[in-house]
Chain A
Amino acid sequence: MTQAVMDLDRRSGISPRRVPVAPNAVIGMLIFVVAEVMFFAALMSAFTITKISTLGPWPPPGQPRLPIEATAVNTGVLLASGIALFFARRQHALVPRKALRLLGASALLGATFVTVQGYEWVQLVREGLTLRSGPHGGFFYLIVGAHALHVLAGLMVLGLALRKLQRDELSPGYFAATRVFWYFVVLLWPIVYFRVYL
């Protein structure tokens, strides 16, 4: 998306200057995020209809309970990762090299989140909640798993940004696109948590 800025210098008659509204990487990432939002919205809608259609309590009797408290703490960890990235951006605007620690902290918190998720999954599978154990298990692993895959992808992007920053090669466009994706992953999770866990 570029804007043709008719910035004609009246005195010298210089040709029009085109100024991009946002870096191409950011525009591309925003379009991707819009598509991903629709993907998750479709999953959530299907889950909501299935949950309401089920006669009786949800989760169905005999199915393992989801670890609500531990996941609430884990939600805090992921939100903290987003906050660290927010401050990393502010620091990067002032002294780029000083954003290294905050960017690292953001990636570390994200990695902690996905590790705890993995541990929870192992526990739930041991308790008998699998993809084939019914709609509860099927939707749980599908929605939470899809989000976990996005977290892993986000961690890779954050890792690349970290590496680029260490080499002083991190461009503002790449960093902005990274933030767009990570904020999407972070802000999506509380919605998933409230819909699926509670």
Chain B
Amino acid sequence: MKPKALAVLSAVAVFCLPALALACPVCGAAQNDANQRAFVGSTIFLSLLPLAMMGGLAAWGLWRVRKQAEERKSEDVPRDSSVQLRLEPRP
């Protein structure tokens, strides 16, 4: 079978058979609505939490990089040409 045909068949299968292949079999075994909501909520929470934390770390790193860049810029203040260096003889 050609790869393209296989990809199309796989996509059709994914859309047609979700009821048969539950992503989380435990969620399907929930005893009542509240239980099922808890399963779904926990799944969403546990799925998003690592993404949020990694995103937070990346954002923090970016913020640090920008802050350091700003600090370096402020350190690189051009020298005032009007200030004259005066050399005094040693005593």
Contacts and interface: CB of A to CB of B under 8 A. Distances in A.
B35 to A, nearest CB: 5
B59 interface: no
Contacts of B46: 38, 41-42, 45
Nearest to A42: B46
A22 interface: yes
18 contacts: A1-B61, A5-B72, A21-B61, A21-B64, A21-B65, A22-B61, A30-B57, A34-B50, A34-B54, A37-B49, A38-B49, A45-B42, A45-B45, A49-B38, A49-B42, A52-B37, A52-B38, A53-B31
Contacts, number: 45
Contacts of B69: 5
Interface of A: 1, 3, 5, 7, 19, 21-22, 30, 34, 37-38, 41-42, 45, 48-49, 52-53
A53 B37 CA distance: 11
B68 A5 contact: yes
Contact of A41 (B35, B45, B65, B68): B45
B61 A41 contact: no
Interface in B60-82: 61, 64-65, 68-69, 72
Nearest to B72: A7
